[in-house]
Amino acid sequence: MSRLWWVRHGPTHARGMVGWSDLAADLSDAAALARLHARLPAGAVVVSSDLRRSRDTAAALGRGIDAVLPALREMHFGAWEGRRHDEISAEAPDLARAFWTEPGDVRPPGGESWNDLRARVGSAVEGLVAAYPGRDIVAVAHFGVILTQVQRARAISAHAALAQHIAPLSLTRLERMGPGPSGWRLLGVNEGGLP
Protein backbone atom coordinates (compact mmCIF):
# COMPACT_ATOMS: atom_id res chain seq x y z
CA MET A 1 0.00 0.00 0.00
CA SER A 2 1.38 3.42 -0.98
CA ARG A 3 0.25 6.79 0.34
CA LEU A 4 0.63 10.08 -1.49
CA TRP A 5 0.79 13.27 0.53
CA TRP A 6 0.09 16.05 -1.97
CA VAL A 7 1.24 19.50 -0.90
CA ARG A 8 0.26 22.56 -2.89
CA HIS A 9 3.13 25.03 -3.15
CA GLY A 10 3.12 28.39 -1.35
CA PRO A 11 1.20 31.31 -2.86
CA THR A 12 2.57 33.25 -5.82
CA HIS A 13 0.15 36.21 -5.54
CA ALA A 14 -0.18 36.18 -9.33
CA ARG A 15 -3.51 37.47 -10.67
CA GLY A 16 -3.57 35.62 -13.98
CA MET A 17 -3.49 31.99 -15.04
CA VAL A 18 -0.18 30.54 -13.91
CA GLY A 19 0.86 27.25 -15.43
CA TRP A 20 4.41 26.81 -16.66
CA SER A 21 5.64 30.28 -15.67
CA ASP A 22 8.46 29.79 -13.18
CA LEU A 23 7.28 32.11 -10.41
CA ALA A 24 8.59 32.19 -6.86
CA ALA A 25 6.38 31.20 -3.92
CA ASP A 26 5.82 33.38 -0.89
CA LEU A 27 7.19 31.20 1.91
CA SER A 28 7.20 33.87 4.61
CA ASP A 29 4.56 32.14 6.78
CA ALA A 30 6.89 30.07 8.97
CA ALA A 31 4.04 28.93 11.22
CA ALA A 32 2.09 27.46 8.28
CA LEU A 33 5.20 25.67 7.03
CA ALA A 34 5.90 24.29 10.51
CA ARG A 35 2.31 22.98 10.82
CA LEU A 36 2.57 21.33 7.43
CA HIS A 37 5.99 19.86 8.23
CA ALA A 38 4.59 18.32 11.43
CA ARG A 39 1.77 16.59 9.49
CA LEU A 40 4.06 14.87 7.00
CA PRO A 41 5.34 11.35 7.65
CA ALA A 42 8.95 10.87 8.73
CA GLY A 43 11.10 8.98 6.24
CA ALA A 44 8.87 9.74 3.27
CA VAL A 45 10.18 10.05 -0.27
CA VAL A 46 9.89 13.73 -1.29
CA VAL A 47 9.30 14.69 -4.92
CA SER A 48 8.54 18.03 -6.49
CA SER A 49 7.47 19.63 -9.72
CA ASP A 50 10.44 21.20 -11.48
CA LEU A 51 8.94 24.68 -11.19
CA ARG A 52 10.57 26.98 -8.63
CA ARG A 53 7.47 27.56 -6.52
CA SER A 54 7.21 23.82 -5.84
CA ARG A 55 10.93 23.15 -5.42
CA ASP A 56 11.29 26.04 -2.98
CA THR A 57 8.24 24.90 -1.00
CA ALA A 58 9.62 21.37 -0.79
CA ALA A 59 12.98 22.73 0.41
CA ALA A 60 11.24 24.96 2.99
CA LEU A 61 9.62 21.86 4.49
CA GLY A 62 13.11 20.76 5.51
CA ARG A 63 12.93 17.18 4.29
CA GLY A 64 15.23 17.24 1.26
CA ILE A 65 14.07 16.43 -2.26
CA ASP A 66 14.56 12.93 -3.67
CA ALA A 67 13.36 13.70 -7.20
CA VAL A 68 12.31 16.69 -9.31
CA LEU A 69 9.73 15.72 -11.92
CA PRO A 70 8.69 17.94 -14.87
CA ALA A 71 5.61 15.69 -15.25
CA LEU A 72 4.24 17.24 -12.03
CA ARG A 73 4.10 20.73 -13.57
CA GLU A 74 0.85 22.68 -13.55
CA MET A 75 -1.34 22.69 -16.66
CA HIS A 76 0.23 24.37 -19.69
CA PHE A 77 -2.05 27.32 -20.48
CA GLY A 78 -0.30 28.23 -23.74
CA ALA A 79 -1.33 31.69 -25.02
CA TRP A 80 -3.47 32.19 -21.90
CA GLU A 81 -0.47 32.02 -19.56
CA GLY A 82 -0.36 34.99 -17.20
CA ARG A 83 -3.67 36.39 -18.42
CA ARG A 84 -6.81 36.97 -16.36
CA HIS A 85 -10.02 35.06 -17.03
CA ASP A 86 -11.96 38.22 -17.92
CA GLU A 87 -9.40 39.12 -20.62
CA ILE A 88 -9.53 35.63 -22.09
CA SER A 89 -13.35 35.57 -21.97
CA ALA A 90 -13.55 38.89 -23.80
CA GLU A 91 -11.22 37.62 -26.52
CA ALA A 92 -12.54 34.05 -26.93
CA PRO A 93 -15.80 33.71 -24.99
CA ASP A 94 -16.90 30.32 -26.33
CA LEU A 95 -13.52 28.66 -25.88
CA ALA A 96 -13.05 30.16 -22.40
CA ARG A 97 -16.50 29.03 -21.30
CA ALA A 98 -15.95 25.51 -22.64
CA PHE A 99 -12.54 25.30 -20.99
CA TRP A 100 -14.13 25.74 -17.53
CA THR A 101 -17.61 24.29 -17.96
CA GLU A 102 -16.80 21.31 -20.18
CA PRO A 103 -13.18 20.49 -19.35
CA GLY A 104 -11.74 17.44 -20.93
CA ASP A 105 -10.30 17.89 -24.39
CA VAL A 106 -10.64 21.69 -24.64
CA ARG A 107 -7.21 23.31 -25.05
CA PRO A 108 -6.10 26.91 -24.77
CA PRO A 109 -4.20 27.98 -27.90
CA GLY A 110 -0.77 26.31 -27.69
CA GLY A 111 -1.61 24.69 -24.33
CA GLU A 112 -2.88 21.40 -23.00
CA SER A 113 -6.30 20.10 -22.07
CA TRP A 114 -7.46 18.76 -18.71
CA ASN A 115 -7.24 15.24 -20.14
CA ASP A 116 -3.67 15.90 -21.26
CA LEU A 117 -2.77 17.04 -17.75
CA ARG A 118 -4.57 14.11 -16.13
CA ALA A 119 -2.76 11.58 -18.35
CA ARG A 120 0.65 13.20 -17.72
CA VAL A 121 0.20 13.28 -13.95
CA GLY A 122 -1.40 9.84 -13.78
CA SER A 123 1.58 8.33 -15.59
CA ALA A 124 4.00 10.08 -13.23
CA VAL A 125 2.08 8.82 -10.18
CA GLU A 126 2.12 5.26 -11.49
CA GLY A 127 5.88 5.61 -12.01
CA LEU A 128 6.34 6.86 -8.43
CA VAL A 129 4.30 4.02 -6.94
CA ALA A 130 6.32 1.49 -8.97
CA ALA A 131 9.63 3.10 -7.99
CA TYR A 132 8.76 3.37 -4.28
CA PRO A 133 6.34 0.51 -3.55
CA GLY A 134 4.62 0.68 -0.19
CA ARG A 135 6.26 3.98 0.70
CA ASP A 136 4.87 7.32 1.83
CA ILE A 137 5.47 9.83 -0.96
CA VAL A 138 5.26 13.58 -0.35
CA ALA A 139 4.62 15.30 -3.69
CA VAL A 140 4.86 19.10 -3.81
CA ALA A 141 2.97 20.33 -6.83
CA HIS A 142 0.15 22.51 -8.15
CA PHE A 143 -3.61 23.08 -7.97
CA GLY A 144 -4.47 21.31 -11.24
CA VAL A 145 -2.05 18.46 -10.67
CA ILE A 146 -3.57 17.67 -7.27
CA LEU A 147 -7.12 17.95 -8.61
CA THR A 148 -6.41 15.33 -11.30
CA GLN A 149 -5.72 12.91 -8.47
CA VAL A 150 -8.79 13.96 -6.50
CA GLN A 151 -10.81 13.29 -9.67
CA ARG A 152 -9.16 9.90 -10.04
CA ALA A 153 -9.81 8.81 -6.45
CA ARG A 154 -13.41 10.06 -6.34
CA ALA A 155 -14.22 8.92 -9.89
CA ILE A 156 -15.88 12.28 -10.61
CA SER A 157 -16.02 14.51 -13.67
CA ALA A 158 -13.34 17.08 -14.39
CA HIS A 159 -15.95 19.80 -13.86
CA ALA A 160 -16.74 18.45 -10.38
CA ALA A 161 -13.02 18.17 -9.57
CA LEU A 162 -12.42 21.80 -10.56
CA ALA A 163 -15.05 22.90 -8.03
CA GLN A 164 -12.80 21.62 -5.21
CA HIS A 165 -10.61 24.24 -3.53
CA ILE A 166 -6.93 23.43 -2.99
CA ALA A 167 -5.34 26.18 -0.87
CA PRO A 168 -1.65 27.06 -0.94
CA LEU A 169 0.31 24.97 1.58
CA SER A 170 -2.63 22.57 1.99
CA LEU A 171 -2.38 18.80 2.23
CA THR A 172 -4.36 16.26 0.20
CA ARG A 173 -3.86 12.60 1.10
CA LEU A 174 -4.50 9.54 -1.05
CA GLU A 175 -3.90 5.86 -0.46
CA ARG A 176 -3.24 3.20 -3.08
CA MET A 177 -5.25 0.13 -2.16
CA GLY A 178 -4.74 -1.89 -5.33
CA PRO A 179 -3.82 -1.72 -9.02
CA GLY A 180 -5.63 0.40 -11.57
CA PRO A 181 -7.30 3.82 -11.30
CA SER A 182 -10.08 2.53 -9.06
CA GLY A 183 -7.52 1.42 -6.48
CA TRP A 184 -7.14 4.91 -4.97
CA ARG A 185 -8.89 6.14 -1.84
CA LEU A 186 -9.07 9.79 -0.78
CA LEU A 187 -8.12 10.19 2.90
CA GLY A 188 -8.31 13.98 3.10
CA VAL A 189 -8.47 16.95 0.77
CA ASN A 190 -7.36 20.55 1.20
CA GLU A 191 -6.37 20.09 4.83
CA GLY A 192 -4.89 23.13 6.53
CA GLY A 193 -3.35 25.58 4.12
CA LEU A 194 -3.64 29.31 3.79
CA PRO A 195 -6.95 31.16 3.49
Q: Catalytic site residues?
A: 9, 74
Task: Name every residue whose Cβ is closer than 8 Å to that of residue 61 and which is 6 or more positions away in sequence.
Answer: 7, 33, 36, 37, 40, 46, 138, 140
Please state, as a whole number, how many other Cβ atoms lie within 10 Å of the Cβ of residue 12. Answer: 16
Cβ-in-10-Å burial (0-12, 13-18, 19+) of 34 comes to: exposed
How would you list the strands of the sheet with 45-49, edge to edge? 67-69, 45-49, 136-141, 2-8, 170-176, 184-192
Judge whether 113 and 103 are in contact, CB under 8 Å: yes
Helix (H) or strand (E) holding 126: helix 114-131
Calculated CA dihedral for residues 184, 178, 126, 131, nearest 10 degrees: 130
